[in-house]
Copies of this chain bind each other. A is one copy, B any other.
Amino acid sequence: MDSEGRSASDACPTSSSDISVELSSLLELVKSSLLHHVAQADASNAARRIGRGNGLALTTQTPALLPPDIVSQRVGLNLAENPQGKDGLIQLVDRILHFSVNTWDHGFMHKLYSGTNPVGVISELILATLNTNLHVYTVSPALSVIEKQTGRTLAGLFGLRETYSGGVTQPGGSASNFNSVLIARHRVSPSIKERGVSEQQHGKLVLFTSIDSHYSLDKAAQMCGIGSEGVWKVPTDSEGRMSVPALRQSVQKAINQGKRPFYVNATAGTTVRGAYDPIEEIADVCQEFGLWLHVDGSLGGSAIFSRRQSWRLKGSERADSITINPHKMLSVPATCSFLLGRDLRRFRSANSIDAGYLFHEEDTLAPGPEDADITYDLAEFTPQCGRRGDALKLALGWVYYGRIGYERYVDNAFDMTSYLADMVKAHPRMEIAAVPQSVQVCFYYMPSSATGEHELAQAAKRNTEISAFISERLPSRGLMVDYAPGPVGKFLRVVTNGHTQKETMDYMMSAIDEIGLSLIMPEQP
C-alpha cells in the first residue's frame, strides 16, 4: 500500500515483472463474459431455427431501445483517481455487454455489417498483442508484408494485375473513397498539394457520382476543397443504377461550362438499394474523356469472392481505384477497408511527404526492395501516419475459411435476399420498393399512395412514420432493421448477410406484420 492509497499490486501498470501472467489472468477473467455474450446469440439463433423464435425471450437487442441517459447511468463508467482493479473491470465489462446490441444475433439486420466470426475475434486479439504501427516496415515487418500481399491478391481478384497494382487498408470506406479523390485530384492537378485548389489553373474540378451513391463522396469533395458544387449527381434508372447516357451528357456539359471533370465514382452496391452501377459502360465514358474511374465497392465489392455473383463487377478491371470493405459482407471485424489501385505509385505521389524522422530510404545502404517505387513503408500511400494492421483480419479468415468460405458468406447473403424478397412480394400488407440487386430488401408496410403533390407529401409522411414505428419496436423481439429514404417516404431496409437464415426471415415477417397491424388497427378488441 503506497502513499496514494493503492493496494492492488496487479493494478500498477509499471511495476509488474511478469506481464504474461497478468495477461493470462485478465484473459481468463473476461473470457466467460465474452463467451456468454456470444452464447446468448447462439441461443436466440437456435430457437428461431426450431421455430421457437416467439417462444423465447429474444431480448439481446433491447439496449437499442433505451435512451442515452439511462444507458449512461446503468453502465456507470467511473473515471476515478484510484484503480478499481479486477473487480471494477469485470463488473464494468459485464454492464457494457449487457447494454450493447448483440451483432452475433442473426436478428441484427440493421446495417451493412453484421456480427463477426471466431477468427475475426482472434485476429483482433493478435493485433492487440502485437500492438504496432504499419507506417514503416521496420516496426512491423510481418504485418507489412501481409498487407502488401493481401492488397495485391485482392486487386488481382478484380483484374488489377499490373506491375504496381495493389492496395492499402484505410480506416473505413469513407476514408478509402476520400483517398481515391485525393489521388485523382493529384493526378489532374499536382500543383494543388502546394498551391491549393484554385479555379484559375484548370477550371473548377468536378466529380461525378450517382444520386444513390454514398454520402462519403460528398464529404470527400467538401473536405478536399472542391465543395459539393463540384459533385455532379448523375440520375439513376428505376433500379438505382447510374444512367450512363446521363453521365456522358453531364460530363460534356461540365466541359462546355469550362469546368474540369476529373473523376467518376461507380458504386458497386448502393447503400440503400444495393444497386450496381454499369461499370463497363462507365469505364467507356472515363476512357473517352480521360477521367479517373473509381469503383466504390464498400458494400458490393465483396461479390468478387463469389463465382455466381462476380459478374456484377464486370468492368472493374478497368478501374483506377476500388474500395472494398471486408468488414461488411465478409464479416471481418470493423474496420477493414481496402483502397485498391491499378498503380500504387499514384497513391504514393499524392500522399507522400518529406518526413525525415520517419522515412529513411535515402540514408542507408541496407538492401531495400528491388524497385524503390514499391516501398514497404505503407504510410507513404495514405493520409494517415499511424496505421493499424487491418489486412491481417481479412488474411486470417481467408486462411481459416478459404476463399470458398468467403464465397459462402456472399452466396448466403444474396440467397437470403431472394428468399425474403419473394415473401415480401407475396405478402398482402407489404410492398417491395426496389428490385433487390444485392443484399438489401426494401419495402413498405401498408403504404399510402397518392398522386397530387399535397397527397404525396402526406403519404410520404405516413409511410415514414409506419417504417419508423416498426423499426423502433423490432428490437424488443430480438430483431433490428433500419429504414431509409425511398420513393414515397422512408421504407424498411433489411440487410442480409453471411449468417442469415431462412427461419430468422420467417420470424421477422411475422414480427413486422404483428407490429404493423398494431399500429394500423390499434383498437381491435
Contact = CB atoms under 8 A, between A and B. Distances in A.
A64 B376 CA distance: 12
B490 A401 contact: no
Q: Which 8 A-B pairs have the closest CB atoms?
A: A225-B225, A196-B227, A124-B128, A357-B484, A171-B171, A197-B225, A83-B402, A99-B142
A132 interface: yes
Interface stretch (A85-93, A160-168, A312-320, A444-452): A85-93
Given A72-B149, A125-B30, A194 B229 contact: yes
Nearest to A225: B225
Contacts of A223: 182, 223-224, 383
B35 A24 contact: yes
Contact of A172 (B31, B82, B215, B385): B385
A142 B100 contact: yes
A78 B335 contact: no
A356 B141 contact: no
A18 interface: yes
Contact of A399 (B18, B68, B79, B130): B79
A169 to B, nearest CB: 11
Interface in A120-150: 120-133, 137-146, 148-150
Nearest to A374: B68
Interface in A164-206: 171-175, 178, 182, 192-199, 204-205
Contacts of A141: 63-64, 66, 68, 71, 99-101
A519 interface: no
Nearest to A170: B171
A118 B23 contact: yes
A42 interface: yes
Given A101-B141, A115-B131, A333-B131, A396 B89 contact: yes
Contacts of A56: none
Contacts of A428: none
Contact of A405 (B49, B71, B83, B226): B83
Given A141-B71, A196-B204, A363-B464, A81 B402 contact: yes
Contacts of A49: 17
Number of copies: 2
Contacts of A406: 13
Q: Pick the most buried of A24, A96, A403: most chain B CB atoms within 10 A of its CB.
A: A96
A153 interface: yes
B198 A77 contact: no
A356 B493 CA distance: 12
Interface string A324-360: 0101000101110100000000000001011111101
A377 to B, nearest CB: 10
A455 B480 CA distance: 71
Interface stretch (A103-111, A236-244, A283-291): A103-111
Given A68-B376, A363-B464, A103 B132 contact: yes
